């Protein structure tokens, strides 16, 4: 059994990581200031002897008594609605939060995995995106607070690895979806599902021809834990390489919900990426990982979750 800290553990991906780690027999410490996370995501784990919740802002000093084997650093607003509303907090957790986490990892001789993002590639001029692509990011645009927070976090992780010998991992996470997403978090899958279930028109930004890839949460968690075990210090993309445009996604969700919703078009947000597709060749060769849950199956499970919430 390992003792593992998950920052942002009450969030969407973080709570699923806590659940899987507990199922695998590890002791889990979940740190979250609940800025965008929710206690409802982790309530089923309360009362267990192998789970501890810490209401903690990771931009402040982190004190963890006793040994620590690994840290999964997932603390950060992660949807456009959140980081556009919380720009300074987003920058602080990427910089100060990552610094505190790395200091803790150095003190405890713990392995640390940074949850980075496909947003480090910005509005990419290379397609699909490989880990050796440096990106096309507007540092002063509204999305820059998230993009640059994660790019700085990657640089800081590599500095601690090179200067202090900290055992580090960086995963660049592409669009992930599934149960426990927030209805109002602004991401396309929960937006479309909630609108379709309510019989409302689905809001499509721009012409809907922009593309995304969608990875189901169970596959993502498996990839993250494989990276923790087997990755090296260089970044690795995690995502589903199957690419869909937003109109195709809307049609799928309308059909799976049995909805009669139509589409409503609005203007494209500033710096919104036109394409997004991971090259996961490195994850396949290094981790032996690739997604197994198809989009229709994953959407059906996610729709069932949102039906239960209504």
Q: Are strands 111-117 and 3-7 parallel, antiparallel or unpaired?
A: unpaired
Q: Which stretches does DSSP call E strand in 128-230?
A: 168-173, 176-177, 202-205, 211-213, 215-216
CA pair distance 118, 135, nearest whole angstrom: 9
The distance between the two most distant Cα atoms of the chain, rounded to a whole number of Å, is 58
CA pair distance 16, 299, nearest whole angstrom: 17
pLDDT digit string, tens, across residues 249-306: 999 999 999 999 999 999 988 878 888 999 999 999 999 999 999 999 999 999 999 9
User: What is the pLDDT averaged over residues 67-74?
Assistant: 98
User: What is the pLDDT averaged over residues 97-125?
Assistant: 97
pLDDT given for residue 270 in this prediction? 82
**What one-character DSSP code corresponds to residue 136?**
B
User: What is the pLDDT averaged over residues 101-105?
Assistant: 98
pLDDT above 90 coverage of the chain, percent? 95
For residue 108, count other CB atoms closer than 10 A to its CB: 18
| pLDDT at residue 63 tops 80 | yes
139 Cβ neighbours under 8 A, 6+ residues apart:
147, 148
CA pair distance 221, 298, nearest whole angstrom: 14
| pLDDT at residue 145 tops 90 | yes
CA pair distance 135, 117, nearest whole angstrom: 12
Among the listed residues 219, 220, 143, the one whose alpha carbon sits nearest the alpha carbon of residue 151:
143
Distances (CA, A) of 150 to 51, 119, 125, 265: 28, 8, 19, 30
Q: Which residue numbers are catalytic?
A: 146
- Write down the pTM of the prediction: 0.97
Helices (H), 165-245: 188-197, 217-230
- For the chain, domains (ranges, CATH) are 3-177+215-241+277-292 (3.40.50.720), 188-210+243-276+296-309 (3.90.25.10)
């Amino acid at each position: 059994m390992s003792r593992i800290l998950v920052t942002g553990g009450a969030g969407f991906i973080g709570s699923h990581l806590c659940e899987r780690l507990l199922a695998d027999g590890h002791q889990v410490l979940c740190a979250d200031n609940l800025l965008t996370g929710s206690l409802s995501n982790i309530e089923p784990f309360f009362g267990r002897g192998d789970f501890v919740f810490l209401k903690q802002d990771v931009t402040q000093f982190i004190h963890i008594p006793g040994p620590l084997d690994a840290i999964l650093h997932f603390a950060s607003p992660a949807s456009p609605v959140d980081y556009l509303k919380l720009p300074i907090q987003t920058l602080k957790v990427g910089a100060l939060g990552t610094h505190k986490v790395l200091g803790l990892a150095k003190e405890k001789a713990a392995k640390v995995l940074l949850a980075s993002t496909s947003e480090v590639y910005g509005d990419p001029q290379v397609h699909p995106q490989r880990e050796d692509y440096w990106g096309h990011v507007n540092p002063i645009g509204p999305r820059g607070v998230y993009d640059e927070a994660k790019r700085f976090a990657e640089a800081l992780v590599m500095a601690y690895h090179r200067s202090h010998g900290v055992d580090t991992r960086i995963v660049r996470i592409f669009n992930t979806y599934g149960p426990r997403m927030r209805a109002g978090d602004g991401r396309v899958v929960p937006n479309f599902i909630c609108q379709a279930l309510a019989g409302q028109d689905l809001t499509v930004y721009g012409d809907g021809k922009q593309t995304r890839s969608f990875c189901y949460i169970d596959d993502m968690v498996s990839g993250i834990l494989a990276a923790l075990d087997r990755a090296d210090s260089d970044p690795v993309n995690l995502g589903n390489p199957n690419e869909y445009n937003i109109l195709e996604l809307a049609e799928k969700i309308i059909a799976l919900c049995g909805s009669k919703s139509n589409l409503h078009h609005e203007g494209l947000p500033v710096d919104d990426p036109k394409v997004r597709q991971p090259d996961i060749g490195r994850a396949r060769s290094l981790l032996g990982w690739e997604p197994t849950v198809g989009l229709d199956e994953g959407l059906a499970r996610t729709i069932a979750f949102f039906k239960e919430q209504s």
